[in-house]
Chains A and B, each alone.
Chain A
Amino acid sequence: MAMTVGIVGLGAMGGGIALTLRKNGFPVIGYDLRDELMVELEAAGGSRGKSPRDVAERADVVILSMPNAEAFHTVCTGQGGVGESGRKDLVVADTSTLFIADKAAAEARLKDLGITLLDCTVSGTRLTVLAGNLVLFASGDANAAKKMAPVFGGFTREHNYVGEFGNASKIKYVINLLICINDAATGEALAYATRMGLDPQETYRLVASSFATSKVFDQRGKLAVDGDFTSSRGFYGLAEKDARIIGAEATNCHAHVPVFSAALQMHEMGVATGFGKLDTASLFEVYKIAGGSPSTVKRG
């Protein structure tokens, strides 16, 4: 029989995970501060938890998907948190992108209560998980990861156990560092081409078939030359949250990240000039503005 999965945090990613698990036959108990998200889960056959603690008391395993460290700590060890459930041998898989120090602190406190916290990260968006294409990295206690494996299989295309606690976060930082760079590089190259008078669509086609291409260029380069910055529902979340964590972690370990730093400046400029709610393909427009050309794109 499928394990009952508790999910705390039903936002873009957590909600996507919950719906996918329901689709694949897992009983789901969810919790979120926003009522409409609980209603959405109930419509998909899931049930409503009263608190993170209540979810932990009723579920076999728990998944967390939290927007920030404050919410994460409250859900782990705050009032009404999973720590209060008194559940010995409970496994909690956190899939949030946070500083490793925050995750490690919660892991230690929960361990004292008999609860095992796994550091997990996911690579993809809500659309990725709903399409069944999510990739998950799990790190920490190997037996706990083994226990979670059937559940991970219920909402991912691929799940990888990557060793000691914190490694899943670290791999995600590396991937997002590259995505952040490729986002800006895509805008920089297309703006350069346009500025020299090349046709943007033709440039996109030729670069996408060359050695110079990347997965980001393939996808966002197309959005950029089509002027389509909304259909993907993407936004500058990476710059506003993940990139700050990546930058700080790089500083902590004294890694040298000059290209990432330059790319991040362009993302910040994108947010500053009103593109923050659009797909980062709009860095093409940001580069146009930086180069003194007007952008006709409607901004928030």
Chain B
Amino acid sequence: MLGGRLVLYASGDRAAYDEIAHVIEGFTQKHWYLGEFGNASRMKYVVNMLVCINNAATAEAPTFAAKMGLDTKQVYDHVTQSFGSSRVWEQRARMAVEGDYVSARGTYNISRKDAKIIGAEAAAVFSPALLFSVALQMHYSGMAQGFAGLDTASLYEVYRMAAGLPSTVERD
């Protein structure tokens, strides 16, 4: 965020937004006005739902690869070039195969707080969130196992344990 790459969504009274737009410009890379009050929150729920699913998928795939006996660093390179890649994969799968869960300093905040809101909002509008629910359970498992202070790339360790592979990290 201090790198000046913050993205901001704004919604609600248009005149109020126009009035402070120049201030928003001062601390964001991009900002969007999304219409009626609440839409900025809704957009963030959608984004974080996908990040949560991608976090788990990014750990699930290299664990599957490791169980089949593949070299996970080689897998990282090939998957990153493939149609199966994602922004989360590019960043967190690299951390996972290198066993580095601290340098990005991402944490389990999505599951600690945002996910409860996302899940409740999805239930409120009766929108099925099958993958999100499963992915969230893996995040909860990670927190329960003591990874909460590490980057969510450490879901790889959660998956490894679930698959009977040894974990290599120290926990909080």
Query: Which residues of A does B touch, CB under 8 Å?
Result: 123-124, 135, 137, 158, 160, 162-163, 167, 170-171, 173-179, 181-182, 184-185, 188-193, 195-199, 202-203, 206-207, 209-217, 219, 249-250, 253-263, 265-266, 287, 290-292
Please tell me if B117 contacts chain A, counting CB pairs below 8 Å.
no
User: Is B127 in contact with A170, judged by CB distance below 8 angstroms?
Assistant: no
Find out whether the CB atom of A175 lies under 8 angstroms from the CB atom of B126. Answer: no
CA distance A50 to B102 in the complex (A): 61
B130 touches A214 (CB 8 A): no
Instruction: List residues of chain A with CB within 8 A of the CB of B128.
Output: 188, 191, 287, 290-291
Are A158 and B81 in contact, with the CB atoms below 8 A? yes
List A contacts of B131 (CB < 8 A). 181, 184-185, 188, 259, 262-263, 266
CA distance A209 to B47 in the complex (A): 10
Chain B residues proximal to chain A, CB less than 8 Å: 7, 9, 30, 32, 34-35, 39, 42-43, 45-51, 53-54, 56-57, 60-65, 67-71, 74-75, 78-79, 81-89, 121-122, 125-135, 137-138, 159, 162-164
CB distance from B91 to the nearest CB of A (A): 8
Taking a contact as CB atoms under 8 Å apart, the answer to whether A182 and B86 are in contact is yes
Q: 9 new A-B pairs (CB below 8 Å) besides A182-B86, A185-B57, A190-B46?
A: A163-B71, A178-B85, A198-B42, A198-B46, A213-B50, A214-B50, A250-B67, A255-B163, A291-B126
When chains A and B are docked, how far (Å) is the Cα of A174 from the Cα of B78? 10
Majority secondary structure, A binding face: helix
Chain A residue with the shortest CB-CB distance to B158: A256
Task: Give A195 to B132 CA distance when docked, in angstroms.
Answer: 16
Is the beta-carbon distance between B50 and A189 smaller than 8 angstroms? yes
Residue contact B88 to A174, C-beta cutoff 8 Å: no
State the CA gap A98–B140 with chains docked (Å): 35
Distance in Å: Cβ of B46 to nearest Cβ of chain A? 5
Would you list 15 pairs from A and B whose C-beta atoms are within 8 A, ordered by A residue?
A: A135-B82, A162-B74, A167-B70, A171-B75, A185-B131, A196-B125, A212-B50, A216-B84, A249-B68, A253-B67, A255-B64, A259-B138, A262-B131, A266-B131, A287-B128
**Residues of the A chain whose Cβ atoms lie less than 8 Å from the Cβ of B30:** 209
Q: How far is the CA of A231 from the CA of B69 in the complex (A)?
A: 38
Report B-chain residues with C-beta under 8 Å of the C-beta of A219: 83
Which residues of A have CB within 8 Å of B54?
Answer: 182, 185, 212, 214
Interchain CB contact under 8 A, B50 and A185: yes
Tell me which of A198, A212, A259 contacts B87 (CB under 8 A).
A212
Q: Determine if A259 and B60 form an interchain contact, defined as CB atoms under 8 angstroms apart.
A: yes
Q: How far is the CB of A135 from chain B (nearest CB, A)?
A: 7
Contact, CB under 8 Å: A291 / B127: yes
Q: Given A206-B9, A254-B163, verify A262-B134 contact (CB < 8 Å).
A: yes
By a CB distance below 8 angstroms, the chain B residues around A212 are 46-51, 54, 87-88
> In the assembly, what is the distance between CA of A260 and CA of B84, in Å?
13
Bound-state Cα–Cα, A198 to B9, Å? 13
Given contacts A137-B78, A198-B42, contact A174 B70 (CB under 8 A): yes
Give Cα distance in the complex from A30 to B83, angstroms.
29
Among B63, B78, B127, contact of A255 (Cβ-Cβ < 8 Å): B63
Q: How far is B65's CA from A249's CA once the two chains are assembled, in angstroms?
A: 11
Q: Tell whether, in the assembled complex, residue B56 and residue A213 are in contact, meaning their CB atoms are under 8 Å apart.
A: no
Residues from chain B with a CB closer than 8 A to the CB of A135 are 81-82
Is B49 in contact with A175, judged by CB distance below 8 angstroms?
no
Which 5 A-B pairs have CB atoms at the shortest separation, nearest pair first?
Answer: A214-B86, A178-B84, A212-B50, A256-B162, A195-B127
Q: How far is the CA of A262 from the CA of B128 in the complex (A)?
A: 12
A163, A181, A197, A199 interface centre (most CB from chain B within 10 Å): A181
